[in-house]
Amino acid sequence: MNHAALVTVHLFAAIMFVGTVFFEVLILEGIRKPVGRETMRTVEIAIGRRARRIMPFVMIALYGAGVSMAWQYRDALAHPFGSSFATLLWLKIVLALSVLAHFITAITLLATGRMTSRHFKIIHISVFCHVVLIVFLAKAMFYISW
């Protein structure tokens, strides 16, 4: 797949994933108190079911395109501190791998019935912080240099 197609697939998958995270953290967390514990638990379970159906495909597209694009920068990645671009790209990759670990943890907790509201909240806030940094780095690595 050519670079433009990879960037497009990666961007659309990122929009879907990051948009979902933003919705869950900025909207759902804001309604937690007004709707009550039981209703919120029902909403979280329903979101978990839907996420288990859709997000694996989004993650495959996101990470598949990301790995393919990173492969094109393998020379820069071979020297993480050789340029600001390589350093920022490495940081973005590390954060992305952490998000993947969070995602796998969440899916595992949901599948085994061990996901609690506390887990849901902590995982989503952590992933939110990660994706904010990843989005920043996605642009910064092309515009910031030292």
pLDDT tens digit sequence for 70-125? 999 999 999 999 999 999 999 999 999 999 999 899 889 988 989 887 898 899 89
Confidence of residue 6 (pLDDT cuts 50, 70, 90): very high
pLDDT tens digit sequence for 41-75? 898 788 878 887 998 999 999 999 999 999 999 99
Largest Cα–Cα distance in the chain? 52
Q: What is the pLDDT of residue 143?
A: 95
Q: What is the pLDDT of residue 96?
A: 97
Indicate the SS3 state at residue 116: coil
Q: What is the pLDDT of residue 71?
A: 95
Contacts with 110 (C-beta within 8 Å, 6 or more apart), sequence order = 48, 49, 51, 52
Give the highest mean pLDDT range of 14-23, 30-39, 115-124: 14-23
Q: What is the pLDDT of residue 45?
A: 82
Whether 11 has a pLDDT exceeding 90, the answer reads: yes
Residue that has been written with the tokens 């969440």 in this structure: 106
Q: What is the pLDDT of residue 37?
A: 87
Rounded CA-CA distance 56/53 in Å is: 7
